[in-house]
Structure 1
């Protein structure tokens, strides 16, 4: 087939993918390989892999079998090998789900706003570009990534449902929260930032009111105003939404739209970055 174009949000908790055939997601936990005495299925996304010489398990199985209890690399940058594993497995799964033979692919993926700098973007691009050898659940293949774009998380989500005027985007992830400001479709650096906490790193994941207060405190330092139009996305967005509304009365849940031909899909807020990245990838690589 011709070159496939994808938007891939390679999150610490879940990878989200958007492309011409639809969407996909999987749990991005990764652990080192070991010999299993009992082969048990933990989830539909269980994967035993070998990628460019690294062996391990990914998906739900890694959540349960990770010896060191981390299941992923957290932090304010995606310039590390776990990102490569997540992206390649996301591409592989997309081909399997939609029954397509992937030989060449162009991708846009994300980087937290605070680390969206030339050196970091170059590191990710160089890590992903080229031909990679994969064995996943015994199936051998190769994927060639021809083009790589790096978008800022949160700001990239804006392009899933672009609008004029002043737009604030709160993208709540597992390891970070990205706060992006867009004015007349232009990204504003001085009113955007990454906060180094997320739903997997806060002490009490159930205290969403406290998470909302922390987001409000940090965004107020960026001179966001209480009546600003704020769009909320991420896996926890629907549950966090009423708490964010107490600080930003005009807050809305993002409803990203994926359209291919006459087929239109209105997706959950968790897919906002992936769909925004896909739209950016089409503008860049189609």
Structure 2
């Protein structure tokens, strides 16, 4: 395999990557570099990096050491420097875990539905496409992103287990919630949206977040008996609260088509696997 096809979901809390060999994830906390007097290990995803001259820490170490709380850049667009770091580290981890020596990839990654327009997509493509030389844990890494596609978050998750008919997607993230309506594999703009709240931006429980989602989706004219698929890291926990209004809601079951068979993966990987399927459709 001379070129690797991947799907990357560069989330505010976790980055998830899916490809022909399996999946990978890491905590996307980022903090500035500092000289460590005590070299502690906080997790298998601890990373010291240098990207475009910026030095820092990422992963569990950043979550613990960041004086600002180990959080990332929130908002309704992914076209910012944190995303570049997240994606490059995701590619570094996947390549070195599954296929060391490869350096050319084609990827599909995501952009919130509300900013899935040509201007914001072009910013993201221009930032990521091409050759990148950086270092992780004092090891030089070169990655050439040959082709890049930008999927709408939420609708990307649909492609992890696509079906005909009308499907509603609720993608609960740490900084935003993306909801998508797809009819016969076509996204319906007027019934899809990004809500600017998520599990780390609301100081209340799952029931409060679910109530916010239900109220907002009813304004989009979603109906009680719709087929609703829920994904994200809290999918299992928030599902009962979503079902109080949408009784047919269920957790999405992503199917990862690997080189050695099909694997059912958890709903947290739905966007990454959907993006991987889109990368195969577009670049395979």
TM-score bucket (shorter structure) = over 0.9
Pairwise CA distance, 1:203: 1.1
Which of 273, 281, 285 aligns to 2:279? It is 281
1:71 CA drift (Å): 2.4
2:177 maps to 1:174: no
Cα deviation digits, residues 99-156 of structure 1 (max 9, x gap): 4222111110000000001000000000001111111111112111111100000001
Corresponding residue SS for 1:63: helix
**Counterparts in 2 of 1:229 and 1:98: CA distance versus 1, 3 Å:** same
Spell out structure 1 runs of 4+ moving beyond 6 A: none
The whole-number CA distance in structure 2 between the counterparts of 1:8 and 1:111 is 11
RMSD between aligned residues: 0.9
Residues 99, 261 of structure 1: alpha-carbon distance in 2 compared, 3 angstrom cutoff: closer
Partner of 1:233 in structure 2?
Answer: 231
After superposition, residues 205-224 of structure 1 pair within 5 angstroms as 207-224=205-222
How big is each residue's C-alpha offset from its partner over 1:203-256, in whole Å with a ceiling of 9 and x where there is no partner?
12xx21111111000000000000000000000000001111111011010010
Which consecutive unaligned segments of at least 5 residues does structure 2 have? Answer: none
Distance 1:261 1:137, change over 3 A: closer
Cα distance per residue 1:39-89 (max 9 Å; x no partner): 111111000001121110000000011122252101111000000000000
Paired with 2:21 and 2:202, the residues of 1 have a C-alpha distance of: 36
Partner of 1:186: 186
Instruction: Give SS of 1:102's match.
Output: coil
What residue is the counterpart of 2:107 in the other structure? 107
- Normalising to structure 1: TM-score of the pair? 0.97
Whether 2:104 is the aligned partner of 1:95: answer no
Find the counterpart in structure 1 of residue 27 from structure 2: 27
Cross-structure match for 1:63: 63
CA offset at residue 96 of structure 1? 1.6
Q: Where does residue 135 of structure 2 map in the other structure?
A: 135
Does residue 1:161 correspond to 2:161, yes or no? yes
Alpha-carbon offset, residue 262 of structure 1: 4.6
Q: Is the 8 A contact 2:64 2:70 kept in 1?
A: no
Structure 1 unaligned regions, length at least 5: none
Deviations 1:14-49 (A, max 9, x none): 000000111000000001111111111111100000
Aligned residues: 284
The CA distance in 1 between the partners of 2:102 and 2:213, in whole Å, is 40
Q: CA deviation at 1:261?
A: 4.3
With over 3 angstroms needed to count, the CA separation of the structure-2 counterparts of 1:250 and 1:13, relative to structure 1, is same
Q: What's the counterpart of residue 2 of structure 1?
A: 2
Q: Distance in 2 between matches of 1:68 and 1:256?
A: 34
